Amino acid sequence: MAVTIEEVRHIANLANLEFSEEELRTFIVQFSNILDHIEQLRQVNTETIEPTYHAVVTEINSENSRRDNTRASFPQQVALMNAPDVEQGQFRVPKVIK
């Protein structure tokens, strides 16, 4: 299945990633291979088979879900420890809304 460079660029864009023209071309081939593989899988008749959403067999239920109890949180300075830029207890980031 053919994938265009624009499509690859769009996906990269959505993932906030930047690539060289050459890298993008590599992805065209890889994406196409993946899609071909999926296309092959689609040949199998799965009409009567329930979709699998997870590899784990057990579902989350009323027994195994977490009880609503609070636990100690990080102190502010620990929470901010890895932040490149901090002001007054907040993460400072470039302006997102003009």
Partner 1 sequence: MEFEPIIGLEVHAQLLTRSKIFCGCSTEFGGEPNARTCPVCLGLPGVLPALNREAVSMAVKVALALNCRINRVSVFARKNYFYPDLPKGYQISQYDLPLAEDGEVELLSGERSKAGNIVNYRKKKFGIIRLHLEEDAGKSIHDTGEDTYVNLNRSGVPLIEIVSQPDFRSSQEAYDFLFSLRRLLIYLEVNDGNMEEGSLRCDANVSVRPKGSEKFGTKTEIKNLNSFRFLQKALDYEIQRQIEDLRAGRTVFQETRLWDPEREQTFVMRTKEEAHDYRYFPEPDLPPLEVSGAWSEEIRATIVELPEAKRERLCATFGISDADALLICASRELADYYETAARENRNPVAIARWLTGDFLAFWKRDAIPLSAVRVRPGHLAEMVALIDSGEISGKIAKQIFEEIWTSGEAPAVAAQRLGVRQISDRTALEQIVQSVIANNQKQVAEYQGGRTKLLGFFVGEVMKQTKGQANPQILNELLKKNLG
Note whether 85 and 92 are within 8 A (CB): yes
**Minimum CB distance to partner 1, residue 34 (Å):** 14
The DSSP H or E segment spanning 86 is strand 86-87
Q: Which is nearer to partner 1, 2 or 74 (CB)?
A: 74
**Minimum CB distance to partner 1, residue 98 (Å):** 9
Note whether 80 and 91 are within 8 A (CB): yes
Note whether 32 and 2 are within 8 A (CB): yes
Q: Which is nearer to partner 1, 16 or 22 (CB)?
A: 16
Our finding on whether 42 is near partner 1 (CB under 8 A) is no
Residue numbers at the binding site for partner 1 (CB under 8 A): 10, 14, 16, 53-54, 56, 58-62, 65-71, 73-76, 79-80, 87-97
